[in-house]
Amino acid sequence: MRAIIFLCLFLISCLPAVRYSNITEKRIPKEAKPSDLKKAIINEVKNHIGTLYKKGSDGIKGMDCSYFTMIVFKNAIGLNLPRTTSEQFKLGSLITDYDSLEVGDLLFFNTTGEIASHVGIYIGDGLFAHASVSEGVTISSINNPYYRKRFNGAKRIIESK
């Protein structure tokens, strides 16, 4: 399974990537194309695969799901997301249909009884990256029955033009 995940990430990232880690603005630069931003997000996700899970951590000894999404967006495109899943859920445009997902959309799940208690980043081909309690930062399928049952919608943070 891991070999398939890494193969998918490799194939998605074969094109040259544009990194925006030196952007300090809180908004996406107007000159950046959505496709470039999405490639940067995929490349940043790959940097964190295998990082241990640690609730409430600052990333040094591990990270939780909302820290993972926050740090990916900050490092990849210079966009500062809020620290918590519930605050991230307040951002962007709501998407409720799996078929409308785009790379970079935030996926929200109810894993503890709250509408948005877990978050991940859609990376294409039915896969999303997230910080799992049991596996750390990993890639999972949105078609996995566990996640499909708990899916509460997605938010588009990067608008396609």
8, 14, 48, 118: which one is catalytic? 118
CA max distance for the chain: 41
Do 151 and 89 form a contact (C-beta atoms < 8 A)?
Answer: no
8, 14, 48, 65: which one is catalytic? 65
Task: Give, in order, the Cα–Cα distances in Å from 59 to each of 29, 75, 131.
Answer: 26, 13, 11
Three-state DSSP class for 116?
Answer: coil
Is 65 among the residues known to form the active site?
A: yes
Is 118 among the residues known to form the active site?
A: yes
User: Which strand (E) or helix (H) includes residue 5?
Assistant: helix 2-12
Both structure tokens of 55: 């609730």
Question: Which residues lie below 8 Å from residue 83, measured CB to CB, with a gap of 6+?
Answer: 66, 67, 70
Do 9 and 42 form a contact (C-beta atoms < 8 A)?
Answer: yes
Which is nearest to 152 in space by CA: 88, 69, 79, 71?
88
Name the residues annotated as catalytic.
65, 118, 130
